[in-house]
Chains A and B, each alone.
Chain A
């Protein structure tokens, strides 16, 4: 039988967050195994596994690693533990309960790619998880897994935990790199991609926590064996964070290709009795929404893309029929308007104006024509910025306007009737200066 739980199997075991607990389970055996095979063969194993990035874009990890220039030079590995995509909280559980799995994955990855400097960029709010990781790194150093000439392999590694300070954009890989260099977290123009010119202008591999934590498993079971799990284009298992209107929210490990209905209903209990799924975000708040009729789509990268959405970070947010589409859209736009770094005009202005336009619907000043303008603003953001933060608002908001147009029109009508009978409140700035 193919295994269904590679990362989360009995993760609650007390003491698993310590080196001793992890080693008792065979931890760091993959590292020893990796040191015995040629570096290029490790990258090949990862490529053969078909592992796709778990942070959002779903890019193949083996391919990205192979883009790094070969030879002696200052190269860097950066683990993206910023985890700020609304709805996402899987890396948190993994880092808190099994930090050594991530550390082992990072050591193997640096060995395979000839990297001697690695960083974990963790969001500043994750204080508990950062403390646990820091302790785990110290344990690994004391045990000789990190440092000079690790286990006699000739490989050396310095691993630094870096705490952020609260900015969604620092999850975007180039914004993260700027932030790690001690600057404001503004994204960079790509190309050059980080694999060619990243941190301190050196070649840099950026991967998500879950991606890197999967590496030891791949080394242990072999890439080809790992690729048998899941579907052809989406191999392996995936941690999904389910939240919102479900009865049993939380993190679950699923085999890619599982039906979404099974995740939302069988695992998470679905919405409360008597309520129905109105819409759901399959991959974090940045993914276009799907409806109840889409619940049977298989949860994997390709099927979700075909259904018009994306797997993203693996965060399912369920919205039931007690909430209005306007309310959901407003929450989204407030977030993206606040988090836009301000570097590119379409995103900075587009997110703010979209938020104000939605506020106008609520206050009764909008006309149905505003919905067309709203939709056109979204299309003008997409593809026109240095990074996809703006797109990350435009896609879900665009999909809500398209799929709930009737409801929004009715809301416009009702609100303007209300406004005609009740005096209109003065227009407030949607985002007051300096407010959060």
Chain B
């Protein structure tokens, strides 16, 4: 049997291609989406105020699209069509433009997402130290908790505490398999997550950077 006969058939999508592409064609008979009419698009006053404040920070107000999407996501829980519509209305951009921006960045959710975000770093330094096992354990522990979304993430910039995770923005590590359950319990109880492993309290590893009266956590590998 030759090498080529041994190869399994190439998986193809319904449309016959080996790459996913788009399953549904765009409906070109519909009118193109335009900038929403302020008179017809109610925007919560608080959200509008914050977006306008962000727009005022830049020479070109369009620069505020990412900050505005962050604000809308905080307000609505995700970048829903309604949220995008509201940002588009305040910023006077098309919803399509903002959707294209939102879809580029990992932190924006274009589908409904759970309330709590657990980003588990599965990049190189963390994975050398067991991040993939932790990720699986984290998924298992969060199973059945609808409000906890676990997601594998690229390097979060805290490889010194690997394996690590960002729980609602709070960096914690180094994590062992037992921590997965503790994270779930802390989240469900509304407590700060793994306080004894939070990066914010950790000393720098460089001995010259350290001070005698340090009250936080010692660097990884230098505890004691």
A184 is contacted by which of B100, B154, B208, B211 (Cβ under 8 Å)?
Answer: B100
Q: What 1/0 flags go to A294-326 for Cβ under 8 Å of B?
A: 000000000000000000000101011001000
B31 contacts the other chain (Cβ, under 8 Å)?
no
- With a 10 A CB-CB cut-off, give which of B125, B221, B222 has the most chain A CB atoms: B125
Known contacts A248-B222, A331-B123: A426-B205 contact under CB 8 Å = no
B8 is contacted by which of A93, A267, A426 (Cβ under 8 Å)?
Answer: A426
Q: Is the CB of B107 within 8 A of A124?
A: yes
Q: What 1/0 flags go to B63-100 for Cβ under 8 Å of A?
A: 11111011000000000000000000000000000001
Among A23-31, A57-65, A249-257, A403-411, the stretch in contact with B: A249-257
Residues of B within 8 Å of A, CB-based: how many? 65
Known contacts A4-B208, A10-B211, A12-B214: A181-B63 contact under CB 8 Å = yes
- With a 10 A CB-CB cut-off, give which of B6, B62, B160, B203 has the most chain A CB atoms: B160
Among A33-41, A225-233, A238-246, A381-389, the stretch in contact with B: A238-246
Q: Is the CB of A165 within 8 A of B160?
A: no
B106 contacts the other chain (Cβ, under 8 Å)?
yes
Q: Is the CB of B205 within 8 A of A251?
A: yes
Interface residues of B in 8-39 (CB under 8 A from A): 8, 10-11, 20
Q: Is the CB of A243 within 8 A of B160?
A: yes
A414 contacts the other chain (Cβ, under 8 Å)?
no
Residues of A within 8 Å of B, CB-based: how many? 86
**Docked CA distance A268–B222 (Å):** 10
Known contacts A125-B107, A241-B159: A8-B125 contact under CB 8 Å = no
B213 contacts the other chain (Cβ, under 8 Å)?
yes
B106 is contacted by which of A91, A241, A248, A436 (Cβ under 8 Å)?
Answer: A436
Q: What 1/0 flags go to A92-124 for Cβ under 8 Å of B?
A: 110011000000000000000000010000011
Binding site for A on B (CB under 8 A): 3, 6-8, 10-11, 20, 57-60, 62-67, 69-70, 100-101, 104-108, 119, 123-125, 127-129, 151-160, 162, 166, 169-171, 199-200, 203-206, 208-211, 213-215, 219-222
Known: A128-B170, A182-B64, A242-B160. 8 other contacts (CB 8 A): A89-B160, A162-B66, A168-B154, A179-B66, A181-B62, A244-B129, A249-B205, A335-B155
